[in-house]
Amino acid sequence: MRALPPVWYRLPTDLTTTKCAHEYDARLLPTEPSQDHRPRAARPSATPAQPEPSYRQGIEPGYLGPTNLSQQIRDHCITTLNGADRIRTLEHRLDVFSHAFEGYQDTGRLIGRQPEIGESARRRTLAAATYSRVEERLMRELGSETILIDLMTTCQHAFIPLFPAVLGSRGPSPDFYAHFGIFHVNSTPPTPLPPVLRLILCAIPAMSRQVPPAIRDGILSGLNTALDSMDFSLGMGSLARIQLHLLLSVNDGLWRRGPMGRPVYAATRMAMGLALHRNVSSRITPVAQLQCRSRIWGACIIADRWITLRLGQMPSIDLAFADAPWPSPGPDHIPTTDFGVIPCFRYHLEMTKLADLLGRAYLATGTPFSLKNTDDFALLSWQMDFESWQAQLPETWPYSYRLDVPQARPILDLLSIGLMYTFAHNLVDALMGGESGSLQAGTLRPTYDVSQRDDPALATQRDDVL
């Protein structure tokens, strides 16, 4: 998995003259170094080397919300004499873009970032060297690279279609084409992926009981050695690092650096720092990256909701502050899914919607305290949305023309049972006044007393879901 070096891009303030590459309306302009006009000695002319084609946008911009200081200064100074021109000049110099989101003007800022922010070059070099030593040691212990290749293939065929992770590969292998059929460079990640991601994708299928313990222990030991050399601070957030943290949260055996849930929290904080929760305008970001951003944001919602339920804690994502669209069911480089495109990410889309329903159920009835603040309308609305979601689920789940995902529907059915239990168990205890419930029926609002409701249809629908 070869990654290209990052390129820093600035966000332009003039959107009238820039043309988009690949017809994706991508209006990010590469920065240019300042011209050096000092005299130079005459040198023989040489044909400059052709640079490698860059398939990546560069370092993702940072995000400041609508209450940030720059927003307040702009709102205050925009009405002063020459204030608008001075603000535009300052924003251009500082790489601040104010009209970055669809539908809402002046509700936040995107800010260009330099690659040096956060992890230092020395730390990156150390991490790369450590990974090389770990990989060489694994080759000696396992005997050959075939085992790692087989585990990677298993992860690509069985896990990635269910929880997609973008892989950086400029030359797909014949096995890739044999199973996935298509490859597009605009679906590659915008920033370089850490080499340790390959070990994570090998460690996930290695957790299966069918893998010998010696192989599993060797991969996990090498993975943790490689992770120890990396910088896990939140300063250098990127799409690649968010995916890295989310993959580490898939299995408890992969994360040994603190309490459970920490990689999910780190991923969600970095995601909001990159404005993944916002509906970024297609005028400044390529469509392929917009699709990738929404899918990674969906993965953050999935991970946050289920770890919240598992630990019984407060969620770290409040979707009331998010206006990002649902993940697209089609490939990243397709602006709109048509009938000729396989909806390879349909399962991921439905998992995101299921996670949203889980979060709503948890906030409405997951605890006795939340049950006090809910009403019949919220419960009935949740029930109707859940039934509508179930009714539109497809019978088959193709990932490509050559690869199907038969395990998708059983997994969704199992998770739906957990969702319905989360919604109903505290509600049933409260309504029945059971000894196991923390709340008695008499302590709830009168609207929760089914026997005293005036609307028989509403009571019947509530009884059906219980």
| Helix axes of 456-465 and 376-391: crossing angle, nearest 10 degrees | 60
Q: 343, 347, 319, 316: which is closest to 331 by C-alpha?
A: 343
Strand order in the sheet with 96-97: 62-64, 109-111, 96-97
Query: Which residues lie below 8 Å from residue 134, measured CB to CB, with a gap of 6+?
Result: 199, 222, 223, 225, 226
Q: What is the pLDDT of residue 289?
A: 82
Q: What is the pLDDT of residue 166?
A: 59
Q: What is the pLDDT of residue 405?
A: 77
Q: What is the pLDDT of residue 267?
A: 92
H helices of 55-173, where?
69-77, 83-94, 121-142, 146-154
Angle at 268 between CA 265 and CA 274, to 5 degrees: 140
Q: Which residues of the chain have pLDDT under 50?
A: 1-57, 117-118, 169-172, 434-454, 458, 461-462, 465-466
Contact 15, 283 (CB under 8 A): yes
Give residue-wise pLDDT tens across range 157-213: 778 777 776 555 444 455 555 555 555 555 555 566 778 888 888 889 898 888 888
Contact 274, 97 (CB under 8 A): no
For residue 341, what are its two tokens?
């495109």
Q: What is the pLDDT of residue 230?
A: 75
Q: What is the pLDDT of residue 187?
A: 57
Considering only CA atoms, give the Rg of the chain: 25
Q: Where are the domains of the chain?
A: 121-341, 342-466
Contact 328, 346 (CB under 8 A): no
H helices of 173-253, where?
174-180, 196-206, 213-228, 239-248
